[in-house]
Amino acid sequence: MPMNLLHRRLCSSRKWADAMAQYLPGQLDDLDLDDVLEIGPGFGATTRVIAPRVRALTAVEIDEASVRGLRAEFGERVDIVHGDATALPFDDGRFSAVVCFTMLHHVPTPAAQDALFAEARRVLRPGGTFRGVDSQLSIGFRLLHVADTMTVLDADTLDDRLHTAGFGDVTHTLHPGERVHFTARRP
């Protein structure tokens, strides 16, 4: 989804990549890392952290320029797919885990977020895990997204939305003004 110049610079910066390298490993600890789908890798800061830890990694990205950059960086190590996460081009039950980190706010509507949730569930194996983290509303977050797509994930309705998408064992942790972490499993 569209990003303003300041936002693009931040997300493609070394500072952001370093922050993800520090933060993300703990988000992967208890996942089955056999065949993982990453939704919305953007400039690849999260992909750089995930790729060395998994047997197989596929990343789906909607932005064509980002897809080209990701393919150039990761080559055959990561299967980079140009596509829309609300209509994933993968077989039912393929992945052991689906992850999305700091990208859900770029999905333009709550209905599209719900479609993404349903697709994540569809492509997960039974017992597979959907894990995500996304930012919450703050003044700085709002300013970073001037002229950007910004649909903040509603933590109050998140569990119900994931249950509606067909997930069980849904949990989330809210860090107000910062981010929400969630985990859901496909029954």
Return the structure tokens found at 108. 């333009």
- Lowest-confidence segment of 26-30, 111-115, 148-152 by average pLDDT: 148-152
The pLDDT of 139-155, averaged and rounded, is 72
Q: Give residue 4's identity as a one-letter amino acid code.
A: N
CATH code for the domain of 48: 3.40.50.150
pLDDT for 68: 96
Q: What DSSP state is assigned to residue 30?
A: T
Phi-psi region of 67 (alpha: psi -120 to 50; beta: other; left: phi over 0): alpha
Contact 53, 73 (CB under 8 A): no
Number of domains present in the structure of the chain: 1
Asked whether the predicted pLDDT for residue 170 surpasses 60, the reply is yes
Return the structure tokens found at 166. 């067909």
Return the structure tokens found at 183. 């985990």
What's the whole-number average pLDDT of the chain? 90
Instruction: State the Cα–Cα distance between residues 131 and 140, nearest whole angstrom.
Output: 25
| CB contact set of 146 (below 8 Å; sequence gap of 6+) | 4
pLDDT for 50: 97
Summarize pLDDT for 20-74 with one digit per residue, the tens: 888 889 899 999 999 999 999 999 999 999 999 999 999 999 999 999 999 999 9
Asked whether the predicted pLDDT for residue 101 surpasses 60, the reply is yes
Residues paired with residue 36 on neighbouring β-strands, in sequence order = 57, 97
Domain extent at residue 11: 5-185
Q: What DSSP state is assigned to residue 49?
A: H
| CB contact set of 156 (below 8 Å; sequence gap of 6+) | none
| CB contact set of 111 (below 8 Å; sequence gap of 6+) | none
Asked whether the predicted pLDDT for residue 141 surpasses 70, the reply is no
